[in-house]
Chain A
């Protein structure tokens, strides 16, 4: 971008408002772009992590003697080998780099194998013996929230709760002309970026450098430094061209394991997930159960909504608290509602961890609030466009969290144009 000494933007920008070639475009169409798995270094070792096959257990012991004796194996590391703190997490530090006490999901990392070639790696993996005592597991937030459920992190399984209250929902419900209550459930979704997680780490002049497929290099750097017990000034994280992320590469994947392997062996180490491992180990979109009640007057004007959202964050919090908070904040959708009671729960289970994914909790509630609008319109015999236009935010409107919208609000114009387009295409015929 061209800047100017006086800090003002040039009158005609060379980039803004124009179609520009991607800076990395030529490398990507010729195959010369180096993704993390494309990197190699002299003397490089390969790493793979042994993962749990049970969802909930107390880890008793890992016997890696036979694995260490496999020719070509450089090292097998377990939690005891971690020099710093063995917990990571963007909001809550609740996830082990290598399990030390308790297995909380299928796919939890148990032991890290480092070897000179892939064959030795595979042979060593099958030589590791894991001793554990299985615990009863919970696979839905409903079970996890029930009294007497096994506590996955030592205390209750409700990780966090968000409440938004505005006005008086109960009185508004009494005055309403139409009230619709429904339960909506949404499923877990895997991001399935085309590039599985991968990275290469090397220690050069006392500095750990990690080239990695990531969306979050600054966070990665902090976590690697904490896990290795060294200063951030000794860790460098370089984001490789990243083959899709969609939120799923905001969490730690290979970073800390690679940092540990390179730090301990002093050799460059590469780690590449298979597709299966990527599916098993990476965070997902939060599955949600949403109980939604909406009430409106005879003209279709919303009087109140009452919403309870329960999100399954799986074994670790990851971005769960923020995702469920976002779901709560957006639970009214783009509509002004004078009376609001919203409760959103982020709940631990022994399912795969759920984290960030495009929309961050909003697609889940959008499914619910838009279905509700259609049902209300149907109950009053109103056109679905009309009920939305009657309720949508406008400049000056106030959201459920009390924010006054002072500037532009695009929803009315969007609906108008969508309707015009649908009419033009003859899509509304027979729909009135």
Chain B
């Protein structure tokens, strides 16, 4: 099959590469770009481990064909920390004990980021809804919700300080 010219912005950097149009965004990120922080847990849209942001919206990268993401602004877990400084959501996940095996963590953090970017003061219900497409088999969800709440509070304080 004729390769498709995949042009997009990934973590703030332009990418331009030929890809087989039948491939999933997940494979392009992991195999072609080496961004292995995005995980595959099921390959069928059930677990959320492959969550990335497409123009700020959380999607399952295992269900997105690469051409569908062309032209988008894509954020993966590798693009969340800025210049080696952890994002407040990442800090909050560590502090709240919301990370155990860590396999769900990249997807969880991106789902949380999508929420907090548009709703800086979410209710617990909104947090639960935001991570409802992400499975965690180790931690349980109490600490994950707590981490997102903690991150929201931190971000609000940072905002206030500016």
A30 contacts chain B at the CB level, 8 A cutoff: yes
Asked if B116 lies at the interface with its beta carbon under 8 angstroms from chain A, I say: no
Report the minimum CB–CB distance from A78 to chain B (whole Å).
Answer: 28
A282 → chain B closest CB, angstroms: 13
Q: Tell me whether A33 and B90 are in contact in the complex, defined as CB-CB below 8 angstroms, given that A196-B41, A275-B43 are known contacts.
A: no
Surface stretch bound by B, among A134-142, A237-245, A321-329: A237-245
Q: Which of A186-223 contact B (CB under 8 A)?
A: 191-196
> Which of B53-61, B103-111, B117-125, B152-160 is the interface stretch?
B103-111
Interface flag for B44 (CB, 8 Å): yes
Query: Is B68 interfacial (CB-CB < 8 Å)?
Result: no
Interface stretch (choices A20-28, A87-95, A163-171, A424-432): A20-28
Known: A29-B94, A31-B36. A244 touches B101 (CB 8 A): yes
Give the A-B contact count at a CB cut-off of 8 A: 91
User: Chain A contacts of B86 at CB under 8 A?
Assistant: 26, 29-30
| Cβ < 8 Å to A, chain B residues 21-53 | 30, 35-44, 47, 49
Contact status A31-B103, CB under 8 Å: no
B127 in the interface (beta carbon within 8 A): no
Complex Cα spacing A133 to B16, Å: 53
A 30-69 binary contact with B (CB < 8 Å = 1; else 0): 1111110110000000000000000000000000000000
Q: Taking the complex as formed, is A184 at the interface, i.e. its CB lies under 8 A from any CB of chain B?
A: no
Contacts of A34 in B (CB 8 A): 36
B39 touching A29 by the CB < 8 A rule?
no
Interchain CB contact under 8 A, B102 and A24? yes
If A243-B103, A244-B101 touch, whether A274 touches B78 (CB-CB below 8 Å) is no
Docked Cα-Cα span, A43 to B48, in Å, equals 31
Size band of the A side of the interface?
Answer: 20 to 34
Contact of A195 among B30, B76, B78, B103 (CB under 8 A): B103
Is B74 among interface residues, defined by CB-CB distance under 8 A? no
A241-262 to B contact mask, C-beta < 8 Å, 1/0: 1111010000000000000000
The verdict on A38 contacting B36 (CB below 8 Å), with A30-B81, A193-B137 known, is: yes
Q: Mark out the residues of chain B between 60 and 113 whose CB falls within 8 Å of any chain A CB in the assembled complex.
A: 76-78, 80-81, 86, 90, 93-94, 97, 99-106, 109
Q: Is B19 part of the binding interface, using a Cβ–Cβ cutoff of 8 Å?
A: no
CB of B37 within 8 A of CB of A194, answer no
Range class of the B interface residue count = 35 or more
A241 to B135, CA, bound (A): 18
Mostly, the B contact residues are: loop
Taking the closest CB of chain A, its distance from the CB of B9, in whole angstroms, is 18
Q: Which residue of A lies closest to B92 (CB)?
A: A29
Candidate in A31, A38, A192, A246 with the most chain B CB atoms within 10 angstroms: A31
Contact of B93 with A194 in the complex, beta carbons under 8 Å: no
B103 surroundings in chain A (CB, below 8 A) = 35, 193-195, 243-244
**B138 cross-chain contacts in A, Cβ below 8 A:** 194, 244
Give the complex CA separation of A240 and B64 in angstroms: 28
Subset of 17 A-B contacts with CB under 8 Å: A22-B94, A27-B102, A29-B99, A29-B102, A29-B105, A29-B109, A30-B37, A30-B81, A31-B77, A37-B36, A38-B30, A193-B101, A194-B101, A195-B101, A195-B103, A243-B102, A244-B101
